[in-house]
Amino acid sequence: MTVELELNELMRVRRDKLAELRAKGVEPFGQKFERTHLSSDILDNFETLEGQAVVIAGRLTAKRGHGKAGFANLQDLKGQIQIYVRLDDVGEENYEIFTKADIGDILGIAGTVFKTKKGEISVSATQVTMLSKSLRPLPEKWHGLQNVELRYRQRYVDLIVNPEVRDVFMTRSRIIRAIRNYLDSNEFLEVETPMMQPIPGGAAARPFITHHNALDIDLYLRIAPELYLKRLLVGGLERVYEINRNFRNEGISTKHNPEFTMLELYQAYGDYEDMLRLTEDLISHTAQVVLGTMEIEYQGEKINLTPPWTRLPMLDAIKQYAGVDFTQITSDEQAREAAKGLGLKVDKDATRGNLINDIFEEFVEPKLLQPTFVIGHPVEISPLAKRNVQDPRYTDRFELFITAREMANAFSELNDPIDQKERFQKQVEQRAGGDDEAHMMDEDYINALEYGMPPAGGLGIGIDRLVMLLTDSPSIRDVLLFPQMKPRD
C-alpha cells in the first residue's frame, strides 16, 4: 500500500512525536519484551499478586492524565488492565514516554500490583517502555468501529476496538478444535487432499480456474474434496476426515463466501444412518463443549440442539408443507403439472427428481428452524449417493437443516463403478446441455471404484454456517476473518 502524500493533522502529530522520541534516543519500535503476566492473570489473582512486581505489555486504549501522574488502560490478548504512572515513581525520561504516548501505542509496563481507592485492580508503573508507536488514530472508544465495510476491510482495526469480534473468532477456533478432538477420539484420520484439481468434482458448482505454468495445464480450485477422500477409502484408510477450504465461483451473500470451510468425513462399512447419528452427536456435543449448553438462541429464535432431532422423509415433508403427494406422481409430466400448480417456474424437461427438490426448497426449507434431518433425496440430484434398496428412484441420503439453512449433507456412498459411470455420463450430458454446474467425467475416480471401495457413509458439514449458528452471527462475513471484498479503486 502506498503512503498517502498528504497526512492529516492527526497522523502528522504522531509522526512528530515519533521523531521527538528518536531525537531523545528512545527507539519507538522496540524489541522482544518479556512479560510475566497477562491482564487476566492479575485481575483473577489479585489477592496473591497484590504488592508483587509484574511486567505486562499491550496496546494503550485509554489515557487519563493528571498533571504529574496519569492512568491508562492497556489491552492484551486476555482483556484490559489499568496502569498508573507517576512522575515520582518512573522518573523524567520514562514519564515523558508516557505523556507522549498516544492511544493505540503498544507499551511495556513493569510495575507493582495494587488496587486504587475506587477499587480498581491496577499496575503502578516503575518502568515504561515504548514497544511500538502507532501512527494512525483508532476509532472512537465508545462506539467502536461501526462501519461494516471498514470492519471487514481492516479487520485488524475491528479486532482492536470491538472485543466481541475477538470472542467470535476465539469461539470459532474452539468449535473446530472440539470437532477435531471428537473425530480423533473416534479413530478418524485427518488428511489433506488436493486444493488444485485437474477435474473438479464432488459437488455441483462452478469452479475457479487457474494455470500451472511449468506443466502448462489448467487446474481448478477444488469445489469439494469428496472424490479424493473416497479414493482413500479404496486405499484402505477406512475412516478419514478433512477440515479445509472449498472454492466456488458463485455469488457472494450473507450465507456465501467464495472460499469457505467444510468438514468432510468418510466411514468405511457404515451408511447414512451412521452419519445421521454421528452428525447429531458431533454438533450437540460441540455446542455442549464450547457453549456449555445445547439450548441456544439464533437471531432471537430459540434453537434446541438436544438429541434426538426430527427425522423427516423428503416426500412426507413436501406432502405436509406443499400439499402434494409424490407417491401418487410417477412421471416427469405429472410432476411438471404439480409444480406448475404450486406456482413454480418449470423447465420443460425438468425431471420428477429435480422438481421434488425444487418444491422442497421453495416450500419446506424455510420452515425448518429446529434441527431436522430430511431423508431420501431423488437420485437425479444425488449423483454420488447409493440408491435405496426398496426404491431405486431415491438415495440413502439426508440433509440437516437448522434455522432454515443446510448445515450438513450425508449419504451412503455409491461404490458401484458401473452405476457411478452411468451417472457421470448423465451429468456430462447435462453439462453439454448448458448446465455448467454438472459434474465432469472423472475416469480415475471410476478406476479407483473398480478396484473396490468398501460400502461407506460420508458426511459434509459447513463449518462457517455451524460457527454462525453457535456464535449467533447473522452474516458469514462475521465468522470469516477476511471475507472476500471487491478491491477499492
Q: Quick one: which of 32, 211, 348, 486 contacts RNA (CB under 7 A)?
A: 486
Chain positions 423 to 452 lying near RNA, rule: CB under 7 A, are: 437
Q: Quick one: which of 51, 236, 251, 434 contacts RNA (CB under 7 A)?
A: 251
Nearer Cβ to RNA, position 210 or 253?
Answer: 253
Smallest gap from residue 34 Cβ to RNA (A): 26
Q: Using CA atoms, how far apart are residues 158 and 479, in angstroms rounded to an integer?
A: 13
Nearest to 104 by CA among 133, 66, 141: 133
Chain positions 105 to 144 lying near RNA, rule: CB under 7 A, are: 114, 116-120, 122, 124, 136-137, 139-144
Written as one letter, the residue type at 231 is: R
Contact region with RNA (CB under 7 A), list: 31-39, 59-67, 290-298, 322-330: 59-67
Contact region with RNA (CB under 7 A), list: 21-29, 210-218, 245-253, 279-287: 245-253
Nearer Cβ to RNA, position 113 or 268?
Answer: 113
Count of CB atoms within 10 A of residue 236's CB?
8
Smallest gap from residue 234 Cβ to RNA (A): 24
Q: Using CA atoms, how far apart are residues 200 and 110, in angstroms rounded to an integer?
A: 56
Smallest gap from residue 373 Cβ to RNA (A): 14
Q: Using CA atoms, how far apart are residues 182 and 65, in angstroms rounded to an integer?
A: 51
Chain positions 22 to 51 lying near RNA, rule: CB under 7 A, are: none
Smallest gap from residue 268 Cβ to RNA (A): 24
Q: Quick one: which of 155, 239, 248, 377 contacts RNA (CB under 7 A)?
A: 248
Nearer Cβ to RNA, position 55 or 103?
Answer: 103
- Kindly state the cell numbers that stand for 312: 423427516
Contact region with RNA (CB under 7 A), list: 30-38, 61-69, 162-170, 272-280: 61-69
Contact region with RNA (CB under 7 A), list: 126-134, 181-189, 280-288, 477-485: 477-485
Bond preceding residue 308 cis, omega within 30 of 0: yes
Smallest gap from residue 485 Cβ to RNA (A): 4
Count of CB atoms within 10 A of residue 112's CB?
17
Strand order in the sheet with 310-313: 189-190, 239-247, 259-268, 456-462, 405-412, 397-402, 372-375, 310-313
Q: Using CA atoms, how far apart are residues 393 and 165, in angstroms rounded to an integer?
A: 47
SS3 258: coil
Q: Quick one: which of 34, 149, 164, 297 contacts RNA (CB under 7 A)?
A: 149
Burial of 368 (0-12, 13-18, 19+ CB in 10 A): buried
- Kindly state the cell numbers that stand for 420: 457411478
Smallest gap from residue 139 Cβ to RNA (A): 3
Beta strands per DSSP E along 186-284: 189-190, 196-197, 209-212, 217-221, 239-247, 259-268
Tell me if 20 contacts RNA by CB under 7 A: no
Burial of 71 (0-12, 13-18, 19+ CB in 10 A): middle
User: DSSP letter at 364?
Assistant: I
Smallest gap from residue 16 Cβ to RNA (A): 8
Nearer Cβ to RNA, position 84 or 234?
Answer: 84
x/- string (CB under 7 A) for RNA, residues 259-278? -x------------------
Tell me if 146 contacts RNA by CB under 7 A: yes
Query: What are residue 200's DSSP bridge partners?
Result: none
Nearer Cβ to RNA, position 88 or 216?
Answer: 88
Q: Quick one: which of 1, 2, 9, 292 contacts RNA (CB under 7 A)?
A: 9
Tell me if 245 contacts RNA by CB under 7 A: no
Cβ-based neighbours of 192, under 8 Å, separated by 6 or more? 242, 244
Nearer Cβ to RNA, position 233 or 461?
Answer: 461
* Count of residues that bind RNA according to CB under 7 A: 72
Cβ-based neighbours of 66, under 8 Å, separated by 6 or more? none
Give the position of cell 477476511.
482
Q: Using CA atoms, how far apart are residues 447 and 421, in angstroms rounded to an integer?
A: 10
Smallest gap from residue 417 Cβ to RNA (A): 23
Report yes or no: 219 and 212 within 8 Å, Cβ to Cβ.
yes
Chain positions 63 to 102 lying near RNA, rule: CB under 7 A, are: 63-69, 71, 82, 84, 86-88, 102
Tell me if 475 contacts RNA by CB under 7 A: yes
Tell me if 488 contacts RNA by CB under 7 A: yes
Report yes or no: 410 and 458 within 8 Å, Cβ to Cβ.
yes
Query: What are residue 114's DSSP bridge partners?
Result: 122
Smallest gap from residue 26 Cβ to RNA (A): 16
Chain positions 151 to 210 lying near RNA, rule: CB under 7 A, are: 152, 203-205
Nearer Cβ to RNA, position 70 or 108?
Answer: 70
SS3 276: helix
Contact region with RNA (CB under 7 A), list: 25-33, 40-48, 304-312, 470-478: 470-478
Residue 231 Ramachandran class (φ > 0 left, ψ -120 to 50 alpha, else beta): alpha
Nearer Cβ to RNA, position 36 or 249?
Answer: 249
Smallest gap from residue 190 Cβ to RNA (A): 21
Tell me if 417 contacts RNA by CB under 7 A: no
Nearer Cβ to RNA, position 234 or 413?
Answer: 413
Report yes or no: 71 and 84 within 8 Å, Cβ to Cβ.
yes
